[in-house]
Amino acid sequence: MGEPSARFNHILAPVGGKSYLLGGETDPFREEAERNRVAGVLSVFDHESKQWVHVDHGDEKPPGVRSGGFVAGERFIYSFGGRADTGFGRYNTLHKFDTEEMRWIAFPPSVNTAETPMPKAGCEPVVIDDKLCLFGGYGTPTGPPQPGSSFTFDEGVYDRGNTNEFHVYSLKNVAVPRWISGNVSGDRPPPCSYYTLTLVDTGRAVMFGGNTKTGRVNDVYIMTLDGINVNFKKMRKYGPWPKKRSSHAACVLNYDQEYPQLLVAGGLDENTQALGDLWLLSVDHGMWIKIRDHETYLHRWRPSMSCVSCAEKTASVLVFGGVDKDGLKQSLTTVLEFKLVDNSGEVQEWIMDDAIVLGANSDRSASAFAESVQAVEDDIVYFIPVNSMGTSARRVCHYKEYEIVVAHYNEDLRWLAPYADHCHVYHKGGNNWKSPVEFKQWDTLPNVGHEGHTYLHHIITNYHCLAKRYTFCARRSEKSYTLER
C-alpha cells in the first residue's frame, strides 16, 4: 500500500510481531487539514511480508504528535507529552493506544498535580513491573523542582531547557491516576533530552547519549527500578565507543534473554551533522562493536527503530523516517536482518545478515537516491521487486574493496584529493585545522603515540566492518603499509 509519508519525531513501536507507526512531524508548509490527516493515519509494518498497511485510528490521538515519549507493552503503546505539529507548545498528557481495538485512550489527570511531570518533549519512558518510568526531557518548569533534581535553561532562554526529574506512574492502579516522584540513587544523569532509554530485560533499561547544556554526550547508564526507587549506574568507558550524539535511534535485539544487545543507529554528532553508523552494545560486558560506518541509508537523525523476532535466533529491525544529512525528511523503510551465530564453540554473537531499503524517498526521487548510494564505489546495490504494486527494494551488500587510513598532524593533504572517497583521516593537530579536501571520514584523536597508534586504533574500532584491503600512510611520503584480509 506504499510507504508512509516522510516525517521525523514519530512513534515506531513493536507489538506482536509488527511495528506501529504513529504521529510525527510532517512538512510545516502543508495545509493544517493535510497535517491532521497524516497524523490521524496509523501505519502498520509486517516484518515477514515487508508490507505497510494504513488505517484511520480515530480523533482521540494525543495532542503531542511529535517528539513525544513512547513505549510498547504486550498490547498497548504508551505515549507521553510531546509537541503539536506546529508551534512550540508542549504537553504532559498520558495516552495509550490499544493495538487490538485500534484506538487511543486518554488517561485522566493525576490526582496530585504537584508531582505531575512538566510539559516536555525529547524524553523516553519505559515500563518496568507495571510502572511507567519517565526521566528527563526538554520542557518548561511549571512549579518547584523535584527534590534532588536540577534544571538547565538554554543559553539566552529563560522559559525552557533540560531536566533530570524522574517520575513513576502505576499502570495497575488506574482507578486512582497518580504520578509519583521517584527516589533516585547512584549516578544520576545530568539534565538531558533526546537520549534513548531502552528496556533490555524485565528489570533493566539502558540510557545512551542525549543533549545536555554542555553539548551532546555518549554516556551509558544502566537503570534499575525497585518500587519507586530507581538506581542509575554509569558504564565505564573502554575500548571502541560511539561518538557523542543525540536524536538517534535504539532498540534491543534479544529482549529478556541472556546477554542482551543494544543496537544504536544514526543521530546528530557534536557538530550537528547526521551520523550514519551502527553500533551494538553487549549490555552485560559493557563492550561496543561497530557494525557499519558512513552508510548512506542510515545517515539520518530523529528516526525511529523497532525490533521483532520473526524466527528463532533472528531479529528484524525496522528503521523509518528521520532527517538526512541534507536536511530532507525521509520516508525510507530500511530493514536490517540480524541472526545469532555460533562463534568458537560456546560463544554466540549477533551479526547483520542483510540490509534492505524499501520503496522511494518522498523528499528525493528514487533515481536520485539510487545514484547517491551507487556513488559509493565499495557498495554493491541490487534492485529486486517486492510486490505487484511496483514497490522496489534495494538490497545493500557491503564489500569495501579498499580504504586509505591517514595519520595526520598538520601536513598538506591535497595530494589525497583523487582518493578522498576512500580516505579515513585521523587528525592529531587540534581542532583549529581545516582540511582543504572533503574526505569520506574525518576524526580527531589526541596527539599521543605515533602513526602506529592511529593504525591500531582504526583496526580495533572497526574490527567488525573492515575493508578487504587497506593502505596506511602518514603524511606524503614513500612510507606506507598495505594490509589485505
Q: Please write the tens of the pLDDT for every residue from 230-241.
A: 999 999 988 889
Beta-carbon count within 10 A of 241 CB: 17
pLDDT at 255: 65
CATH assignment of the domain containing 109? 2.120.10.80
Phi, psi of 316 (to 5 degrees): -110, 120
**Domain range holding 305?**
11-364
The residues with which 196 forms a beta bridge, in sequence order, are: 208
Query: Same domain for 359 and 286?
Result: yes
**pLDDT at residue 369 greater than cutoff 70:** no
Does 371 fall in a domain?
no
Among 154-168, 363-377, 435-449, the least confident range: 363-377
Query: Same domain for 330 and 471?
Result: no
Does 388 fall in a domain?
no
Written as one letter, the residue type at 102 is M
Query: Same domain for 291 and 430?
Result: no
Which is more confidently placed, 430 or 424? Answer: 424
Identify the domain boundary among 364, 387, 418: 364
Q: Determine what percent of the chain is predicted with pLDDT higher than 70.
A: 80
pLDDT at 296: 72
Identify the domain boundary among 364, 392, 413: 364
Which is more confidently placed, 430 or 195? Answer: 195
Return the SS3 of 466. coil
Does 3 fall in a domain?
no
Chain mean pLDDT for the chain:
80
Sequence-ordered list of residues with C-beta below 8 angstroms from that of 436, at least 6 positions apart, any chain: 412, 413, 414
Segment 67-120, tens digit of pLDDT: 777 888 888 999 998 886 666 678 899 998 898 988 888 898 888 888 899 999
> 28: which 3 cell numbers?
510545516
First and final CA of the chain: distance in angstroms? Answer: 44
pLDDT at 36: 54
Which is more confidently placed, 301 or 388? Answer: 301
Identify the domain boundary among 364, 383, 410: 364
**pLDDT at residue 357 greater than cutoff 70:** yes
User: Predicted confidence band at 333 (pLDDT cuts at 50, 70, 90)?
Assistant: confident
Written as one letter, the residue type at 171 is L
CA-CA distances (angstroms) from residue 91 to 3, 139, 422?
A: 29, 9, 46
User: Predicted confidence band at 485 (pLDDT cuts at 50, 70, 90)?
Assistant: low
| Residue 427: half-sphere exposure toward Cβ, Cα within 13 Å | 17
**pLDDT at residue 388 greater than cutoff 50:** no
Segment 196-212, tens digit of pLDDT: 999 988 889 999 999 99
The total domain count for the chain is 2
Does 104 fall in a domain?
yes
pLDDT at 353: 79
pLDDT at 209: 96
Segment 181-190 shows an average pLDDT of 94
Query: Same domain for 350 and 407?
Result: no
CB 219 within 8 A of CB 286: no
Q: Of 166, 89, 179, 181, which Cα lies nearest the Cα of 123? A: 166
Beta-carbon count within 10 A of 258 CB: 8
pLDDT at 324: 85
Query: Same domain for 208 and 334?
Result: yes
Q: Of 162, 252, 279, which Cα lies nearest the Cα of 214? A: 162
Segment 118-136, tens digit of pLDDT: 999 999 999 998 899 999 9
Does 393 fall in a domain?
no
**pLDDT at residue 34 greater than cutoff 60:** no
Q: Determine what percent of the chain is predicted with pLDDT higher than 90.
A: 27
Q: Of 211, 323, 199, which Cα lies nearest the Cα of 254? A: 199
Does 238 fall in a domain?
yes
Distance, in Å, from the CA atom of 102 to the CA atom of 120, rounded to the nearest integer, reads: 26
Query: Same domain for 198 and 148?
Result: yes
User: Predicted confidence band at 264 (pLDDT cuts at 50, 70, 90)?
Assistant: very high
Sequence-ordered list of residues with C-beta below 8 angstroms from that of 408, at least 6 positions apart, any chain: 425, 426, 427, 428, 429, 474, 475
User: Predicted confidence band at 374 (pLDDT cuts at 50, 70, 90)?
Assistant: very low
Does 394 fall in a domain?
no
Sequence-ordered list of residues with C-beta below 8 angstroms from that of 177, at least 6 positions apart, any chain: 107, 108, 109, 110, 111, 169
| Residue 295: half-sphere exposure toward Cβ, Cα within 13 Å | 27
Among 68-72, 377-381, 391-395, 424-428, the least confident range: 377-381
Query: Same domain for 266 and 409?
Result: no
Query: Same domain for 408 and 323?
Result: no
Query: Same domain for 453 and 316?
Result: no
> 20: which 3 cell numbers?
506501529
Query: Same domain for 303 and 221?
Result: yes
| Most confident by average pLDDT, 33-47, 148-162, 359-373 | 148-162
pLDDT at 184: 95
Does 382 fall in a domain?
no
How does DSSP classify residue 461?
Answer: H
Query: Same domain for 206 and 346?
Result: yes
Distance, in Å, from the CA atom of 260 to the CA atom of 253, rounded to the nearest integer, reads: 7
Query: Same domain for 181 and 300?
Result: yes
CB 331 within 8 A of CB 321: yes
**pLDDT at residue 191 greater than cutoff 90:** yes
Sequence-ordered list of residues with C-beta below 8 angstroms from that of 296, at least 6 positions apart, any chain: 276, 372, 373, 376, 379
pLDDT at 417: 86
The residues with which 184 forms a beta bridge, in sequence order, are: 230
pLDDT at 371: 42
Distance, in Å, from the CA atom of 245 to the CA atom of 211, rounded to the nearest integer, reads: 7
Greatest CA separation for the chain: 76
Q: Of 97, 52, 57, which Cα lies nearest the Cα of 79? A: 97
Segment 316-325, tens digit of pLDDT: 999 998 888 8
